[in-house]
Structure 1
């Protein structure tokens, strides 16, 4: 009888030592299977042994699975953490162009001072000239979004000699899906008695809110509005074709950069 009791006790101890423990479940799938919420009041240590404590991680680290039968590890994220309804950048791109637009000197401009929101890039009056290599595309996933655009380019105008008050006025716009969404007008003012052609810089920074979900295209186009007199060459993003060259297309090239930010939604 004593031998039987010893055998039963040993068998029971063996079962206990290898049993799976389930909390709120009658069919545990692992050594410890918890069906419900867990509240930890202190550290969660991983990778420990019978003789050493596990690693509790440090502030803001993430516990990352390493696969089956491998101890998970605490990792430091290279990205910041986001809260509900914050905005995060989901797409970013930059394009450059050295072809530019050469308006020549045959026209002083189209004479149209303004353009309305939504004007088509293919409009016949006024006529917009796209900057070829700046065209790009992006995709919106969340209808709560902000897209920040930054366009910058160099300008060049003829040598005006001794003439005072010479200028060329122009406009550049950002077109989303071929519809005008941002525009700025400016002018390059020539310096008389300079003895060389005139250069300047144009910058357009704009934010478009809540574009529809789905794919979109973005393009930049410009037009010459008016000039102080006839005969002045004018170019955007490149040199003019007249006179002695003092700069090159690389120095006047155009750049378009955009960042798409979407509102964070946490799915529980």
Structure 2
């Protein structure tokens, strides 16, 4: 009888206050446990889709939906990383049809002098002839201090040359891949007039950057006209300058891959 009376008093407290505290006299929610809790049975939460209670399925965890909303069961697919190995963390690709055009007045008066300034980590602000291909400037984020970035840039270069003569007609140009406006990769090439008019060539370039700082970065591509040989033709990089090709053919693309060695993860223990 004594035990029954205690139970009735306990249940009446639940009904009256709707708050129960275990090891606390001031419960702050319906059930407030000040200490460890062992759960040997099932744990049910409401399913917002059908308003029924569910225990979830194997390997699911409870995820908060924020204040005022019940938690939901979620399946978290966490990859199994091995120590000291690189994993592809980020991969994306971008395209641009705007490109850049250069007239014969937009080149170096001394091609040799500009070549000496094209060194690793040169700031784009110091390379006045270089112009960015707008849509290829894109952000990315690194989560580890040990990383390798791979950049693959492809475009079409065209000049509205006449047919080639003697001496040869050609233009030197360069394209650089920049991270945070610092040069990480450069390719210098020459486009030469052919037997036909309005010559175009495909330009491919792969750049690598290692162990950039953790956090947010920006990759960009910029190109420059360096020197002309017997020509005042317009040079287009990533954009057509004559009607024998169009902007679809001439467009630029950039692929960005980030490989990282994941840093220490806290293990999940029982």
TM-score, length-scaled by structure 2: 0.63
Contact 1:21 1:32 in 2 (8 A): yes
| Corresponding residue for residue 62 of structure 2 | 63
Q: Which residue of 2 aligns with 1:207?
A: 208
Matches within 5 A, 1:100-179: 100-104=100-104, 110-111=111-112, 115-123=118-126, 128-131=129-132, 133-134=134-135, 136=137, 138=139, 140=141, 142=143, 144=145, 145-161=147-163, 163=165, 168-179=171-182
Give the CA RMSD over aligned residues: 4.6
Q: CA deviation at 1:62?
A: 3.5
For 1:63-102, list aligned pairs within 5 A: 63-65=62-64, 72-77=71-76, 80-83=77-80, 89=89, 94=94, 96-102=96-102
Give the unaligned 5+ runs of structure 2. Answer: 47-51
* In structure 2, distance between residues paired with 1:87 and 1:38: 38
- Paired with 1:70 and 1:136, the residues of 2 have a C-alpha distance of 40
Mapping 1:191-206, distance limit 5 Å: 191-192=194-195, 194=196, 196-206=197-207
Residue 107 of structure 1 deviates from its aligned partner by: 6.6
- Give the secondary-structure state (helix, strand or coil) at the position aligned to 2:244: coil
Give the aligned partner of residue 24 of structure 2: 27
Measured in 2, the distance between the counterparts of 1:176 and 1:91 equals 16
Q: Secondary structure at the match of 2:119?
A: coil
Task: Determine if contact 1:139/1:215 at 8 Å carries over to the other structure.
Answer: yes
Q: Secondary structure at the match of 1:122?
A: helix
Is the 8 Å Cα contact of residues 237 and 253 (structure 1) preserved in structure 2? yes
| 1:181 alignment partner in structure 2 | 184
Residue of structure 1 in register with 2:49 after alignment: none
CA distance, structure 1, for counterparts of residue 220 and residue 246 of structure 2: 23
Q: Normalising to structure 1: TM-score of the pair?
A: 0.63
Q: Distance in 2 between matches of 1:140 and 1:259?
A: 11
* Cα contact 2:62–2:72 (8 A) shared by 1: yes
